[in-house]
């Protein structure tokens, strides 16, 4: 018997499920599940045990996929968890406050100034989850705002072109040359 995933409208988990290319024999997808929050995905295993939440379900999907998205060492796994927690606690909570949101983007930009990906030298679950969380916001930023966060923009553009990540999402445009100094 396959595990049952109630995505409950959570596009991040839907996109991750497609990216991980997990067969329908392992995970059956339901659209709605009774008694759950409308945005909280829930995964019910064949044993009857249930896990709930974007990070928890995302980590489970990463573990059972062929993708190695959770890091190669204990430190990298901890850093992946750190970035996923940052996304949920700081970035998501700052969406309604413009000044807090700009501060969160500045922190991300500074953190990405000396690295290609959030953790190590490879794409991780943290990169994918943060990409999906930031996508609608990056679409709305002006060219000048994107240039203000040049490291974040470089990282975002790289992740969106990683095979299988963007899927059906519209491409976010970036200028190739900086206009301002």
Together in a domain, 157 and 85: yes
Same domain, 82 and 49: no
pTM of the full structure: 0.86
The pLDDT score that the predictor gives to residue 102 is 85
Residues 42 and 92 in one domain: no
d(CA 152, CA 121): 16
Count Cβ atoms below 10 Å from residue 114 Cβ, excluding itself. 7
* Domain-located, residue 97: yes
Instruction: Residue 111: give its domain's CATH number.
Output: 1.20.1050.10
Residues 84 and 157 in one domain: yes
Residue span of the structural domain in which 127 resides: 74-161
Q: What pLDDT score was predicted for residue 33? A: 53
pLDDT cut 70: percent of the chain above it: 90
């Amino acid at each position: 018997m396959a595990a049952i995933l109630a995505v409950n409208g959570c596009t991040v988990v839907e996109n991750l499920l497609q990216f991980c290319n997990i067969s329908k024999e392992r995970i059956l997808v339901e659209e709605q599940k009774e008694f759950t929050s409308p945005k909280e995905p829930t995964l019910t295993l064949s044993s009857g045990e249930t896990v709930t939440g974007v990070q928890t379900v995302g980590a489970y999907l990463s573990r059972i996929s062929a993708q190695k998205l959770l890091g190669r060492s204990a430190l990298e796994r901890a850093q992946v968890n750190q970035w996923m927690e940052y996304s949920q606690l700081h970035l998501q909570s700052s969406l309604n406050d413009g000044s807090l949101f700009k501060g969160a983007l500045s922190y991300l930009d500074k953190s990405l100034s000396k690295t290609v990906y959030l953790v190590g030298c490879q794409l991780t679950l943290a990169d994918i989850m943060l990409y999906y969380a930031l996508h609608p916001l990056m679409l709305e930023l002006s060219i000048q705002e994107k240039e203000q966060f040049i490291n974040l923009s470089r990282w975002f553009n790289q992740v969106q072109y990683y095979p299988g990540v963007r899927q059906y999402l519209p491409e976010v445009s970036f200028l190739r040359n900086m206009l301002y100094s």
